[in-house]
Amino acid sequence: MQDTLQTYIPNKAIPQVLELLKHDHLVVKVKQERKTRHGDYKRLPNGRHQITVNSNLNTYRFLITLLHEIAHFEAYKRFGKTIKPHGIEWKKTFQHLMLPFLNPEIFPVEILPLLAKHFRSPKASSDTDIQLAYALKQFDAPNDKTFIFELPLHSTFKLYNGRVFKKGKKRRTRYECVEIKTGRLYVFNPNAEVELLDE
């Protein structure tokens, strides 16, 4: 596991992460990219627990996602299975796990203030924190994707599944977008990653 982790998380984080993973009944698997999630946690029928994290994440996002899922495991162990998946028990556990990692030896200094702000009350997904998601994206490998909030109004874009939309006005926090094929209206998070199409 140590060799695998060295590929995916910052080197200075490895000893602390390995300490957190010292459980006989916990399995961590690195998966191919899944478009709908960065990682997940589940209790298996045999009583073991499994964490999966996407292999395509940059090292900082991978670490945040891994700790997010370890927090699910720790909260389950401590509080039982009746707690809400992203309720107060999980939030407190995630904050406690994340604190030792919030230092400039592990994360770039420009991300630390955003992480500190985010972890005052962590959300179910760091993607819903627009500033943090945008800052983390700067460390991704270059790709042809753009955040919706960066697109010009009325521009056309494509999702990973091939569906095509036209960007509309912004509501309070999200953007109204019309699917070209059906004319149906959908709302998108500002930091959803899409492919801009030439007009």
In this predicted model, what pLDDT tens digit does every residue of 33-67 receive, in sequence order?
877 789 999 999 988 999 999 999 999 999 999 99
pLDDT at 1: 52
pLDDT bucket at 158, cuts 50 / 70 / 90: very high
* Weakest mean pLDDT among 29-33, 93-97, 182-186: 29-33
In this predicted model, what pLDDT tens digit does every residue of 5-19 receive, in sequence order?
778 999 999 999 999
CATH number of 146-196: 2.30.30.30
pTM of the model: 0.83
Task: Tell me what percent of the residues of the chain surpass a pLDDT of 90.
Answer: 67
Strand order through the sheet with 156-158: 146-147, 193-196, 156-158, 164-170, 175-179, 185-188
Q: Please, which residues bridge with residue 193 across strands?
A: 147
182-194 average pLDDT score: 91
Sign of the alpha-carbon torsion through 79, 85, 87, 89: positive
pLDDT bucket at 3, cuts 50 / 70 / 90: low
190-199 average pLDDT score: 84
Helix (H, G, I), strand (E, B) or coil at 14: helix
Q: Say which residues have a Cβ less than 8 Å from residue 89's Cβ, sequence separation at least 6.
A: 75, 78, 79, 83
pLDDT bucket at 192, cuts 50 / 70 / 90: confident
Domain boundaries, the chain: 2-137, 146-196
